[in-house]
Amino acid sequence: MKNNNPNQSQLGRKLKAGPTDGAAETRVPDSNLRLIPKSARSTFVPYDPLQVSIKPGENDLTRIAPGRSVAEGEVIEVSGRITDEYGKPIKQVLVEIWNANKWGRYTHIEDHTGYQLDPNFLGHGKTMTDDDGNYVFWTIYPGSYLARPDIGRWRPAHIHFSIRGGSVRLITQMYFKGDKNLETDPMFIVLAEAAPRSIGVEYETQTNGAKRGFKFDIVIGGANANYFEK
């Protein structure tokens, strides 16, 4: 039967959040999602590389500058491929990551945890995807931190990702399999059936001091898109 209600045809699924400590209420819409029109999705075009200044080594977060001392903690490789919903690579887009240091501390004025800082770790890097949509970073395996001291809730280890294409910026997070704090983390619980796509897939490597890597492919658009934050 033909749907004569134009608004109904634009409705998507309704997100379900599992049990949390109340943080999910500000993140999960109480009504069905609205499908993004194809005309709007098409505005996510390759980023103009002329507007981005990428210096050698900016994808290596393990040291604050080439030739400097390596930060404390386990060096890991983080790599992946960015594609659209049809598997087509999205090339020449700006990818940025940031994460806490070994002790769970961000090098940021708003981090009031009091955890130890690492003078050799800034925790932010950037790179551009190649013609096949691939990217690679080296960073320190992030520590967990106590996000809610009043109820003893810890945030699991995670790495933030920012992807810029055209005038659009998408932000998501990569988590690590087996982290005991995942089951109580509101931001991870909100992912629901999309949770497996937000966990890096471990692999062995021998590059830049790393012994293991985590593959994190990012899909933009479609039914299997990554979960992006506001």
Whether 34 sits among the annotated catalytic residues: the reply is no
Residue 108 is a catalytic residue: no
**H/E element, 157:** none
Residue 175 is a catalytic residue: no
Active-site residue, selected from the candidate residues 63, 81, 105, 158 = 158
Distance CA 198, CA 30 (A): 23
Quick one: which of 180, 177, 212 has its CA closest to 198? 177
CA distance 149 to 128: 38
Among residues 63, 81, 105, 155, which one is catalytic? 155
Where are the alpha helices (H) located in the chain, listed in sequence order?
Answer: 38-41, 186-189
227 catalytic residue (yes or no):
no
Catalytic residue, candidates 47, 141, 145, 175: 145
- The catalytically annotated residue of 63, 81, 105, 160 is 160
What burial class does residue 221 get, using C-beta atoms within 10 Å of its C-beta: 0-12 exposed, 13-18 middle, 19+ buried? Answer: middle
The Cα–Cα gap between 201 and 4 comes to 44
Active site residue 106: yes
47, 63, 105, 106: the catalytic one is: 106
Q: What's the one-letter identity of residue 187?
A: M
Q: Contact, 136 vs 59, CB < 8 A?
A: yes
CA dihedral 148, 151, 155, 161 (to 10 degrees): -50
| Residue 70 DSSP code | P
Point out the residues that are catalytic.
106, 145, 155, 158, 160
